[in-house]
Each structure stands twice: as structure tokens, then as C-alpha cells.
Amino acid sequence: MPEKKKSSIKSWPVAKTLAVPTAVTAPAVKQPAADLSRVATEDLHREILVRLGEDLTRDGLALTPERVAKAQTYLTSGYQQDPAAILRGALFDVDYDEMVIVKDIEMYSLCEHHMLPFFGKVHIAYIPKGKVIGLSKLPRLVEVFARRLQVQERLTRQIADAIQEAIEPQGVAVVIEAKHLCMMMRGIEKQMSSTITSAMLGAFNKQSRTRQEFLTLLRKTSDSV
């Protein structure tokens, strides 16, 4: 860390009751004013409802804190699952080296910035090199990564990397088209716009013809999100 100039120490505004800061660093992660680690998750949600101006005695809200806690646990259950383990049980030796494409896999995730949903479709392609993945496992793989707090770019990349590591194919391509409620509900961007991200590894990255073939096949019959 660069040494602090003495003059900057003198000009630091210090209230009499506060200790003099010992170092000028970026603010650390905000700590809650009280130790909340022993408070039940439902009680935290109850507190949030009150702060939003809600009346906790309303019938409809009676079980809402419990429901929210349960829903959030479910929507982030991907943290408890190992993507490699899911694929491991479904790898098959094949003598096939043409492109495998699985399109329109439904995806629901939560953006890590607002914890609001983003959802859409995932398209996966790979060119095997001796091994393929059981087709039903690809939607499972998407789910494991989607049920975490995510950004769409990372989700795209993680799916591609997991396939790459599992079967080391000639190439992997993943495209995600998604709509983000944090944009739509907060009116930041055009309401119906969707975000498209892609990750291209191996042959899809190196050979524009391979990439083009995949993108053309996608366009042919893909419904928009």
C-alpha cells in the first residue's frame, strides 16, 4: 500500500467520539449494525416487510417470511450441487464427431446485483472427441449454475467450461438469450429487450465456419425468448 501523505491525515474529519482511522483503504464490506447471525432468516424477512411499510398482521403476509426463506433456499440450491458429479455419471464413448446441439433449454436465475430473476433460453453445442454427454444432463447442468446468484456472462461461461472439462471435446459453444427483470421492472432499458451472451471454446472459437454453422442452425428454428 502506498504511504499516506501526512497532510491527508490532518485533514481527515474525525468526530471526537471516534477513533482516528489507522489507514485510508477502500471501505470494507459493510457490517450490519448488530450481530444478525443468530437471527432466524424468517425474522430477517419479517423485519424487511416492516421496513417496506407492510402490516405483518395482514392475513396474506402471515406465512410470507417463511415462504420467502424457502423459495430463496430453493432458488440458490445450485450452491449445494457439484456440476462435475452430475456429468460424471452420464458420459458415453462414441464414434461420432459431428456437432451436437441442444437448443431452447429453459433457464431461470437470479441476478446477483438485485436478486431479481433473469430468465430465457440456453443453447448448447459441442463437437465430440470420443465422448458425449447424456442429453438429459445438459438441462441439469444449466440448472445447477442457474440456481445461484449470477450474472449472465458468468453463467454462460461456467456451462461451457463444465462441458469442456468433462469431455474435452473439439469445441463447445453456449449462447444464452435472457430477459432481466431488474431492467424490465425498473424501466432502465427497453422493456422487452433481451440480452444475448455467448462463450465459444476450441473449434467454435478458432474456426469461423464452425461458429457460423452453429449460429445459422440456431437462427433457423429458434423462437425468440
List residues bridging with 198 in a β-sheet: 175
In the bound state with Zn ion, the residue whose beta carbon lies nearer, of 155 and 218, is 155
Total interface residues for Zn ion by CB under 5 A = 4
In the bound state with Zn ion, the residue whose beta carbon lies nearer, of 63 and 185, is 185
**Quick one: which of 87, 99, 110, 111 contacts Zn ion (CB under 5 A)?**
111
Q: Is 180 a catalytic residue?
A: yes
Q: Which stretch binds Zn ion (CB under 5 A): 88-96, 108-116, 135-143, 169-177?
A: 108-116
Q: Is 182 a catalytic residue?
A: yes
**Quick one: which of 58, 67, 70, 113 contacts Zn ion (CB under 5 A)?**
113
**Quick one: which of 114, 129, 131, 179 contacts Zn ion (CB under 5 A)?**
114
d(CA 68, CA 64): 6
In the bound state with Zn ion, the residue whose beta carbon lies nearer, of 5 and 113, is 113
Scanning residues 158 to 187, which ones bind Zn ion (CB under 5 A)?
Answer: 182
Q: What are phi and psi of 135, to 5 degrees?
A: -60, -30
Query: By Cβ distance, which residue is nearest to Zn ion?
Result: 182
Q: Which residues contact 73 (CB under 8 A, 6 or more apart)?
A: none
Scanning residues 31 to 50, which ones bind Zn ion (CB under 5 A)?
Answer: none
Burial of 45 (0-12, 13-18, 19+ CB in 10 A): middle
Q: Which stretch binds Zn ion (CB under 5 A): 14-22, 104-112, 153-161, 187-195?
A: 104-112
In the bound state with Zn ion, the residue whose beta carbon lies nearer, of 101 and 182, is 182
Supply the minimum distance, in Å, between the C-beta of residue 214 and Zn ion: 28
Q: Is 45 a catalytic residue?
A: no
Q: Which residues contact Zn ion (rule: CB under 5 A)?
A: 111, 113-114, 182
Looking at the annotation, which residues are catalytic?
111-114, 152, 180, 182
